[in-house]
Structure formats: C-alpha cells, structure tokens
Structure 1
Amino acid sequence: MNPIARMTDQDRQIIKECLDAAVSGPFFPDWEFDTLIGFTRDEIAAIAASWPAPPIVGTEDDAVNNVLNNLLGYPHGIESRWHEYLPATRSQVAQVLARWRREDIVEQAHGGAIER
C-alpha cells in the first residue's frame, strides 16, 4: 500500500499544510531549498497543488519525508512563527512523519529531526 493510501484524512491535511508551509513560509531560504528538500520550491509547490495526487507518481515519498523532516529538524530559528503557517503542532507533524515512514517509535534528536 502506498503511503498516501494508509494516511488518515487528518494526516493528509497536515501533510498538505506542511508542503504549503515549506513553499510559502519562511522556514527554508531560497539558496538552500533544493539542497535541503531534494526538490525545487516549484516542484514542491506542484506536489502541494495536486495533493494528494502528486503530478509525478513516486515523487511523494521523498518530498513528504524531506519536507516534514526538515520542518522539524532544520535549524531555521523561527519556531515562534510555526503557528502562522501550520495549525498542526510539532508533535502532530512528527507523528504523521512516523506513520508515513511506518515507524512505531518516534525518535527525536538533533533539535527535533526524526531519524530513520
């Protein structure tokens, strides 16, 4: 079963909000975006716009993993603005990421990044 199919409606909504926040929020500088996420800002915007049916099948796994993981762990230093872009808490995003990865236990290290 693909990851999207095993997510709840709430999980899919949180993922959509995270994709949107990665694109339009202040979390990732333009010069570093594609290095951190593995996709350009425009590619993530296209995935977000068509979510939960990514424009290219198979792109969603790395895109979702990288966006959620970097929202949680990249030292963007603007945690106080999280709520302006994401209604979900950091804990909720971490739990969605764990379910996306099919992990039973969420291990947080390095400022909140979740390791595989």
Structure 2
Amino acid sequence: MNAVERVTDQDLQIIKECLDAAVNGPFFPDWEFHTLMGFTRDEIGAIAASWPSFSDSDTQDDAVNNVLNMLLGYPHGYESRWHDYSNATLEQIVQTLARWRGDDDLDGTGKGTFERLR
C-alpha cells in the first residue's frame, strides 16, 4: 500500500494545504527552502499542483514527508499566520504525517524532526 492509499480524505486535504503553505506562505525563506526541503519551491509547487497524483511517487513521498516535518519542527516564527493557510492543528498534522509514513510511533519532538528528514 502506498502513502496516498494509507491516509484519509481529511489527511489528503491537510497535506494539500501544507504543500500550498510551504510554497506560498511565509514559513520558509527562499534562501533556505531547498536546504530545508531537499526540493526547490518550484518542485514542491509542481507536486502541490498535481496533488494527490504525481508521476514519481518516491519524490512525492519524500516531499510530503519533508514539508510536513518542517512545518512541525522548523522554528519559522509564523505560527500566528498558520490559520491563513489551513485549519489543521499541529496535532492533526502530526497524525497525518504518522499515517503518511506508516509510523505508529512518530516522535513529535524537535529531535524527531531531524530523524524524519529524507
């Protein structure tokens, strides 16, 4: 079972909002985006534009993992702007990421953020 099949319809919506927030929001500066995500803003934008389908499932899997992971763990300082992009809570994003990864024991701490990078 692939990651898209493993998540709920609500998870798919949360992931789409997170992808859009990463690309269009203030959360990640341009100069650091590729370093944090392992992808360019345009590459994440292409995945968001085709969501939930993408021609390369491994790339999509890594991009979603890294976007959700960085939204949870990167100290971007824009928490007050989050609801301009999504109604999902941090706990819902953690749960969505856990289902996406197929990881029942997801560590939601800062240490876990670095261990989850791909």
Q: TM-score, normalised by structure 2?
A: 0.90
What is the percent sequence identity of the aligned residues?
68
Distance (Å, rounded) in 1 between the aligned partners of 2:47 and 2:70: 17
1:54-94: CA deviations, max 9, x gaps?
Answer: 14332111000000000000010111111111211111001
What corresponds to 2:5 in structure 1? 5
Ranges of 4+ aligned residues in structure 1 off by more than 4 Å: none
Instruction: Answer yes or no: is the 8 Å Cα contact 1:47–1:55 preserved in 2.
Output: no
Instruction: Answer yes or no: is the 8 Å Cα contact 1:106–1:114 preserved in 2.
Output: no
Counterpart amino acid of 2:99?
A: R
Instruction: Answer yes or no: is the 8 Å Cα contact 2:106–2:112 preserved in 1.
Output: no
* 2:38 paired with 1:38: yes
What corresponds to 2:69 in structure 1? 69
Counterpart amino acid of 2:110?
A: H
Secondary structure class of the residue paired with 1:104: coil
What corresponds to 2:79 in structure 1? 79
Distance (Å, rounded) in 2 between the aligned partners of 1:21 and 1:114: 20
Q: TM-score, normalised by structure 1?
A: 0.92
What corresponds to 1:29 in structure 2? 29
Counterpart amino acid of 1:46?
A: A
Which one scores higher on RCO, CA 8 angstroms, separation ≥ 6?
A: 2
1:5-37: CA deviations, max 9, x gaps?
Answer: 111111111101100000000000000001100
C-alpha deviation, 1:106, in angstroms: 3.1
Q: Against the structure 1 CA distance between its residues 6 and 101, is the aligned structure 2 distance closer, same or farther, given a 3 Å change threshold?
A: same
C-alpha RMSD of the superposition: 1.7
Q: Against the structure 1 CA distance between its residues 28 and 94, is the aligned structure 2 distance closer, same or farther, given a 3 Å change threshold?
A: same
Structure 1 unpaired stretches of 5+: none
The structure in which a higher percent of residues are helix is 2
